[in-house]
Structure 1
Amino acid sequence: MAAKIKKGALVRAVREQLNNSLEAKASDTRFPPYMFETKGEILELTDEYALVRFSVPTPSVWLRIDQLEPVE
């Protein structure tokens, strides 16, 4: 799936991948619904992480690439 995710792509967070992840354990585990219900745009990429800007007025967030799925 990582091959489908590139800069500028539209994505959505995958709840099953975020639950019990290191990121969930390091912060509040109650993720906002917009992460799973709205489209986000990939702004930057590293080897393992993507900076995602969601279509709601909130700061961008870094998520692991395997925690994202492409949407159209």
Structure 2
Amino acid sequence: MPVKKGDVVRAIREKLENSVEAKASDTRFPAYLFETQGEVVDIKGDYAFVKFGQVPTPNIWLRLDQLEAFK
């Protein structure tokens, strides 16, 4: 099932760590990306703008295939 605006998600570690985006920047991703709930605020093309509200962090663009619904 595809991720849509308003969904509660978290990042998939294996897909994010091996991505082009990871190779272009710091690969030490914070644990909250994988362990806390984020809300999809917007979607443009293959990317979702995710807000992680449980910790004071900036919103982040992640590819849709790097996200899964939070259970």
Alignment TM-score, normalising by the size of structure 1: 0.91
- Aligned residue type for 2:7: A
The corresponding residue for 1:35 is 33
The corresponding residue for 1:8 is 6
The corresponding residue for 2:67 is 68
Identity of aligned residues (%): 61
Matches of 2:34 and 2:45, distance apart in 1: 23
Aligned residue pairs total 70
The corresponding residue for 1:49 is 47
Cα deviation for residue 63 of structure 1 reads: 0.2
Any idea what SS the aligned residue of 1:23 has?
helix
Cα deviation for residue 52 of structure 1 reads: 0.2
The corresponding residue for 1:59 is 58
Structure 1: tracts of 5 or more residues without a match: none
Any idea what SS the aligned residue of 2:45 has?
coil
Structure 1 residue ranges, 4+ long, deviating more than 2 angstroms after superposition: none
Matches of 1:71 and 1:15, distance apart in 2: 13
